[in-house]
Structure 1
Amino acid sequence: MVDNINNGILRCLQENARQSNTAIGKIVGISSPAVAERIRKMEDVGIIKSYRAVIAPELIGYQLKAIITIRAFMGKLKPFLENVKKWNEVVNCYRITGNENIVMEVVLRDQKHLEEFIDVIITYGESKTQIVLSQVVAHQPTVKSINYIK
């Protein structure tokens, strides 16, 4: 399903999902209708999951970013996993191996908001919070980098 042309289309979409099928077609060497058909097929099988706007949280009032790990209390992991999807502060949440069960990336308005958020999550387990000072790398894995993962 993912040949060199589809890889090229995926790279184009990752760089700018708003570019036209004509522009993508010029890059990968096929017609605009052929690009549209390939994109539709990749959407249908789930290779392309969604299109979205990536926003700058700090410009809409979320000045604080934190990484929070949780070591869930006995019987609290499943309720946590059900509720975490409802919390707007959570940008990413992963279930992980090791001493902690969960790692989350959260955005918050300020320290008071962080304190209120921690008050909610500590009912599920022991938490550790690290405040993010700056972002060093910010990108999704690209098709090119995925090809190197064995």
Structure 2
Amino acid sequence: MPMSELAKQVGMSAPSVSERVRKLEKEGIIRGFTIDADTRALGYQIRAMVRIRPLPGKLHIVERLIQERPEFIECDKITGDDPFLARLVVQSIEDMDVVLEALAEYAVTSTAVIKGTSVKRRLPPLPLRRD
């Protein structure tokens, strides 16, 4: 989005918005900009969330395997019995089986296919800043 469009949306001048964005980047609040690609348009018709529980002594191997598979587009370390929660995109159920079978020797997985998205990734409410 051009700064001029952002400026219109927030009721500020484009130079003010540009300066504010630079300041937020410098402070580390804005870490970068990204592209929001439609994985389905890229041919990945199946999206799934996978809970992954490494077998004893296999945590680091499993983490490396997740990092090496490009089908895992995101993975968080979480609390609870399953230390990894990963987002997976594949072109078919057969492709999903191939990805999960590569983990089977080292981990137990629980997979839920995503039917739809109720809330897209968004920012949390921003705290008021007192400058």
Scaled to the shorter chain, the TM-score interval is: 0.7 to 0.9
In 2: Cα distance, 1:46 partner to 1:24 partner:
20
**Which of 37, 52, 68 is 1:55 aligned to?**
37
> Which structure has more helix as a fraction of its residues?
1
The corresponding residue for 1:6 is none
The alignment covers a number of residue pairs equal to: 128
TM-score (norm 1): 0.73
How far apart are 1:27 and its partner, in Å?
4.4
Opposite residue 133 of structure 1, the aligned amino acid is: K
Deviations 1:65-91 (A, max 9, x none): 111111111222123223423321112
In 2: Cα distance, 1:74 partner to 1:82 partner:
15
Percentage identity across aligned positions? 25
**Which of 75, 82, 104 is 2:57 aligned to?**
75
How far apart are 1:45 and its partner, in Å?
2.3
**Which of 87, 101, 108 is 1:105 aligned to?**
87
Unaligned runs of 5+ in 1: 1-17
TM-score (norm 2): 0.82
Q: More deviation in 118-127 or 57-66?
A: 118-127
Q: More deviation in 49-58 or 77-86?
A: 77-86
Computed over aligned residues only, the root mean square deviation of the Cα atoms, in angstroms, reads 2.2
Deviations 1:2-35 (A, max 9, x none): xxxxxxxxxxxxxxxx132x33334445443332
The corresponding residue for 1:114 is 96
